[in-house]
């Protein structure tokens, strides 16, 4: 398995989806765009002005891919059948 320690996704609170590759948004992890930590932090920081106040939350959030995979794996084992549409 490749080293995922510096692989990040960006969750859009504004759109309720992951940033997609190469553009747009997706609900599927397999279609989510991968970023380095530095690039993900920079992209999320640039999204704050003008949007955070309107949403009442951070518009975009960097999330480490390894954590997303660990969490979804744990959730699927704890609650079988909930992730039928996860990919």
Domain borders along the chain are: 8-78
What pLDDT sits at residue 62?
96
Structure tokens at 51: 């949007």
Per the confidence metrics, is the pTM higher than 0.85? no
User: How many Cβ atoms from other residues are within 10 Å of residue 79's Cβ?
Assistant: 9
Instruction: Tell me the mean pLDDT in the region 20-43.
Output: 94
What pLDDT sits at residue 57?
79
Question: Please, how many CA atoms are within 13 Å of residue 2, restricted to the half-sphere of its CB?
Answer: 4
User: CA dist 56 to 46, 53, 60, Å?
Assistant: 16, 5, 12
Q: What whole-number distance in Å separates Cα of residue 75 and Cα of residue 72? A: 5
């Amino acid at each position: 398995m490749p080293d995922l320690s510096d692989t990040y996704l960006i969750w859009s609170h504004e759109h309720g989806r992951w940033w997609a590759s190469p553009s747009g948004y997706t609900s599927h992890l397999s279609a989510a765009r991968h970023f380095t930590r530095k690039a993900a932090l920079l992209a999320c920081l640039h999204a704050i002005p003008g949007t955070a106040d309107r949403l009442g939350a951070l518009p975009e959030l960097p999330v480490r891919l390894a954590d997303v995979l660990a969490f979804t794996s744990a959730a699927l084992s704890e609650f079988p059948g909930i992730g039928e549409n996860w990919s």
